[in-house]
Amino acid sequence: MAAVQETVDKVRSVEVDAYKYGFVTDIESDMAPKGLNEDIVRFISAKKDEPEWMTQWRLDAYKRWLTMQEPVWARVNYPKIDFQDLYYYAAPKRSPGPKSLDEVDPELLRTYEKLGIPLREREILAGVEGAAERRVAVDAVFDSVSVATTFKAELAKAGVIFCPISEALQTHPELVRKYLGTVVPVTDNYYATLNSAVFSDGSFVYVPPGVRCPMELSTYFRINEKNTGQFERTLIIADKGSYVSYLEGCTAPKRDENQLHAAVVELVALEDAEIKYSTVQNWYPGDSEGRGGIYNFVTKRGDCRGDRSKISWTQVETGSAITWKYPSCILRGDESRGEFYSIAISNGHQQVDSGTKMLHLGKNTSSRIISKGIAAGRSDNTYRGQVFAHRKAKGARNFTNCDSLLIGDTCGAHTVPYIESRNASAVFEHEATTSKISDDQLFYCMQRGLSGEEATALIVNGFVRDVLQQLPMEFAVEAQKLIAVSLEGSVG
């Protein structure tokens, strides 16, 4: 609890005048009232003790946001969001969490068991009251602290900066200021602009020139990972000739009171640098009737700013009620390369509209898109991708392969490619297939001893194999299990 106390003290020292902000807030309770206005934005910034330019940056974003319209082009349906009915800072508990695992939805517990998650972690994921605090206390003695310490020492030796972005604003403000918003501008899109105004926290990574980051960076090791909230902001910079691999997410379905999530991730790769970004997303998809579930409206973009730089996105998307996500690459440097490998699984009433953009600006740039969409239940799964070659992007090349797999006959798969070339030397290839798991295939596997669900999982894992191979080893193993769990009940 020391960290919270520290924040409180810090905020106090700024001498926030509650009245000045138009509302009365008990600072001790560490929350802001519902709704969004300029004062809330100032409040968030003040809470984090941010430099004046940052406050101004947020306010500019907020003013811009007021003039924008929520996008409607995606193939998703949901009730209109009342943005004034949301909490934007440290949302208080609207309903108390379960007191113990006995009060948690048994369906959720079954999933944890299948994924092989340790008991104590199950409590935290399920939001059992006090579980996180107990864990901190216990792990502080055993593994967490020592692991984190070793980890930090090794990174420091390599000169890699890896910390919460709020901390980076204090310790390396010049780096944050130089790069923040240069890939996803404040004005980019409705949700990104909202995020710019109110983002809570997220990761900051800087890898110095020529350094190969000695380990895969994972949010798991990030200090203060708790309460990054619904508006996460991540900024990763790989300086000249460096390399970094970053893992985001968790295979365990996480209970979260916040329905709307609008994160922004910005990657910058300078000359000869390479960034590999892997995500496994498994947020609560809603119940069997499609109630509840998280809306995931994310803006992820990488800028291959230097010549011969490379950015690779790999994602496994199984959760959320609605996914609206297009990790993209701006191929600015000559001979730079962008990659997008995606597995998007939808079941139940989930809606997925995901894909990528490869914007070829530099000469001899190349990109590769491998997308595997799997739709089951009553879900809708759309791949939406743009490949663009600028007039100056001579010799640009793209290869796109979009495969969709349907399970059952009440789901939908859609492919919406946008391909535009403004110079004659660009070569774009696009392949797309849609297939169904056939009754013949299922029967064949079942005749060999696999249950219907095991057979489906095996066939689906075969279908997504090309992409799974792109994931770091242990992540791939988890993802494989996750795929099996997400498709449960899809065979009837």
Partner 1 sequence: MLTITDLHANIDGKEILKGLSLTVKPGEVAAIMGPNGSGKSTLSYVVAGRDGYEVTEGSIVLNGEDILAMDAHERAAKGIFLAFQYPLEIPGVTTMTFLKAAMNAQRKQRGEEELTTPDFIKRVRAAADKLGVSQEMLRRALNVGFSGGEKKRMEVLQMVLLEPKIAILDETDSGLDIDALRIVAEGVNALRSPDRSFLVITHYQRLLDYIVPDSVHVLSAGRIVKSGDKELAHELEKNGYRDYVADAA
The binding site for partner 1 (CB under 8 A) comprises 438-441, 443-452, 454-455, 458-459, 461-466
330 or 491: CB nearest partner 1: 491
Q: Pick between residue 313 and residue 463 the one whose CB is nearest to partner 1.
A: 463
Rounded to a whole number of angstroms, the minimum distance from the CB of residue 449 to partner 1 is 4
For partner 1, give the closer residue by CB, 74 or 459: 459
Q: How far is the CB of 249 from partner 1 (least distance, A)?
A: 24
Cα-based distances in Å from 81 to 122, 192, 232, 331, 360: 30, 16, 19, 34, 35
Closest of 398, 400, 392 to residue 424, by C-alpha: 392
Task: State the nearest-atom distance from the C-beta of 480 to partner 1, in Å.
Answer: 11
Assigned token pair, 322: 């609605």
Residue 146 CB, nearest approach to partner 1 (Å): 33
* 36 versus 459: smaller Cβ distance to partner 1: 459
Q: C-alpha 271: how far from its chain's center? A: 25
- DSSP string for 59-110: HHHHHHHHT------SS---PPP-GGGSB-SSPPPSSPPPSSGGGS-HHHHH
Q: Report which DSSP code applies to 292.
A: S
Nearest of 325, 399, 385 to residue 357 by alpha carbon: 385
CB closer to partner 1 out of 86 and 450: 450
Give whichever of 82 and 439 is closer to partner 1, judged by the CB atom.
439
Q: Are 25 and 73 contacting, i.e. CB atoms less than 8 angstroms apart?
A: no
- The nearest distance, CB 446 to partner 1, in angstroms, is 4
Distance (Å, rounded) from C-alpha 329 to C-alpha 342? 14
Torsion sign over Cα 318, 319, 321, 324: negative
Nearer to partner 1, 175 or 446 (CB): 446
CB 469, min distance to partner 1, A:
10
- Residue 164 in tokens: 């919460």
Closest by CA position to 337, among listed 371, 370, 360, 314: 360
Q: Whole-angstrom Cα distance, residue 488 to residue 320? A: 16
Judged by CB, which is closer to partner 1: 92, or 462? 462
- Taking the complex as a whole, the smallest distance from the CB of residue 445 to partner 1 amounts, in Å, to 7
**Cα 439 to Cα 45: distance, rounded to the nearest angstrom:** 57
Q: Are 264 and 227 in contact (CB under 8 A)?
A: no
What's the token pair of residue 455?
């057979």
State the minimum distance, in angstroms, from the CB of residue 439 to partner 1: 7
> Least distance from C-beta 412 to partner 1, angstroms?
22
CB of 466 to partner 1, least distance (A): 7
Looking at the Cβ atoms of 401 and 461, the one nearer to partner 1 is 461
> How far is 482 from 461, CA to CA, in rounded Å?
10
Q: Which residue, 170 or 461, has its beta carbon nearer to partner 1?
A: 461
Question: How far, in Å, are 227, 248, 357 from residue 436 at the CA level?
Answer: 41, 31, 27
| CA 127 – CA 97 distance, rounded (Å) | 6
Least distance from C-beta 440 to partner 1, angstroms? 5
- Residues 375/404, Cβ–Cβ less than 8 Å: yes
Closer of 427 and 432 to partner 1 (Cβ)? 432
The Cα–Cα gap between 385 and 329 comes to: 12
Residue 224 Cβ vs partner 1, minimum distance, rounded to whole Å: 40
- Of 113 and 154, which CB lies nearer to partner 1 in the complex structure? 113
Smallest Cα–Cα separation from 108: which of 373, 266, 285, 346?
A: 285
SS3 310: strand
